[in-house]
Amino acid sequence: MSAPADALEGWAPIRVHEGNVPVVEWCWLDGIGFDDPFFVQTVERAFRTPFSLLFRRETPIDALAGLPPGLEPTGFIFHGSRCGSTLVSRMLAAASRMLVLSEPLPVDQVLRASASERERTRWLQAIVAALGRPRRGERSYVVKFDAWNACSLGLVRRAFPDVPWVFLYRDPLQVLVSQFRQRGAHMVPGALDPVLFGLDRAAVIRMPPEEYCARVLASIYRSALEHRDDRAFFVDYRELPGAVFERILGAFGLDCDEAERARMHELAGLNAKNPNLLFSPDGQAKEREATPALREAADRWVRPLYEELLAC
């Protein structure tokens, strides 16, 4: 159901439906913060309330321009997946008055919409502003993008040229072993349009999975390197969690007090995606688990780019 802008207090955009004019779907979230490791988990938590599940509002995407302006983004996080980005976003979220959105679905949807780059740029600005409306007195606002959104960095930088961004990367073999244990959407052939990664649709069908995944990761690393600018900060997984304090807080212009830093340290010892578990480094286990085919694919397609990232 369509809604006037002033009826959206306490509601949040949760997804975008494509059409001649994209429609934004809003969910009643009042009282619930984006405290979960991922955006969709918070939405699903809201769905436990019957009203939130059953009643949604809808607005044409152009109506977002009529909303009170949200916070200006403080920083963006891009990553190669399995590189510690959830840890970083969780640590930043420990700071008070900080709104951190982790892989918000509407952002990915406008980035991958079937529309001109000009339209997608405008929609991205609108949806980031709508998501950034402070709900609990937040003053800073960080968006962690989906891994494959790094392939849209050109568009994001044009939409938000002044926002500092961090790119998190990791030894490609460790990323690929993790993906082979449990794949993200971008590592499942056909789940996302392979053209996004510069791959031919027909060729992907016959491609060995090791090669497909390695080339997707290579495309993400390459895009990050190509869009490197004076607002970019590249962080290797091995630099975490220290790099949060030493580089990322400064890159985003954030000033945290001792209590906030203590909370961040505490979070660094927990498993970011499941805060009920303690974090345990598993890099060596991943190395042992790697098959020869995966090693070869990592070395051939991604390692040269990883070396370039290390030199940044």
Partner 1 sequence: MRERDRARDHPEVDSLEQFARFRRIVLADPALEQRLQGIADWPSFLDAAIGAAAEHGIALSETDVLAARKQATRSWLERWV
Pick the closer one to partner 1 by CB: 105 or 272: 105
Angle between helices 209-226 and 303-310 (to 10 degrees): 30
Q: Which amino acid is at 127?
A: I
φ, ψ for residue 65, nearest 5 deg? -60, -20
Strand-pair partners of 78: 167
Give the nearest distance from C-beta 186 to partner 1 in angstroms: 12
Put the strands of the sheet holding 140-144 in their side by side order: 98-102, 140-144, 75-79, 165-169, 232-236
Q: 291: which 2 tokens?
A: 């098959």
Q: How far apart are CA 154 and CA 171, in angstroms?
A: 24
Residues 6+ apart with CB under 8 A from 150: 78, 79, 80, 167, 220, 223, 224
Q: How far apart are CA 262 and CA 242, in angstroms?
A: 13
Pick the closer one to partner 1 by CB: 185 or 259: 185
Closest by Cα among 170, 180, 175, 174 to 209: 180
What number of residues does the chain have? 312
Strand-pair partners of 11: 28
Give the nearest distance from C-beta 46 to partner 1 in angstroms: 11
Pick the closer one to partner 1 by CB: 28 or 148: 28
Pick the closer one to partner 1 by CB: 8 or 294: 8
Give the nearest distance from C-beta 284 to partner 1 in angstroms: 34
Pick the closer one to partner 1 by CB: 44 or 296: 44
Contact between residue 64 and residue 129 where contact means Cβ atoms under 8 Å apart: yes
> Phi/psi class of residue 305: alpha, beta or left (left: φ > 0; alpha: ψ in -120 to 50)?
alpha
What DSSP character marks residue 189? B
Give the nearest distance from C-beta 113 to partner 1 in angstroms: 14
Binding positions for partner 1, rule: CB under 8 A: 1, 3, 7, 15, 28, 30, 43-44, 47-57, 105, 185, 191
Pick the closer one to partner 1 by CB: 14 or 217: 14
Pick the closer one to partner 1 by CB: 48 or 206: 48
Pick the closer one to partner 1 by CB: 49 or 271: 49
- The DSSP string of 217-260 is HHHHHHHHHHT--TTEEEEEGGGTTHHIIIIIHHHTT----HHH
Give the nearest distance from C-beta 10 to partner 1 in angstroms: 8
Give the nearest distance from C-beta 290 to partner 1 in angstroms: 28
Please tell me the chain's helix, strand, coil percentages from 3-state DSSP, rounded to the nearest 5.
50, 15, 35
Give the nearest distance from C-beta 51 to partner 1 in angstroms: 5
Give the nearest distance from C-beta 147 to partner 1 in angstroms: 15
Give the nearest distance from C-beta 26 to partner 1 in angstroms: 11
Q: 77: which 2 tokens?
A: 């996080």
Pick the closer one to partner 1 by CB: 188 or 312: 188
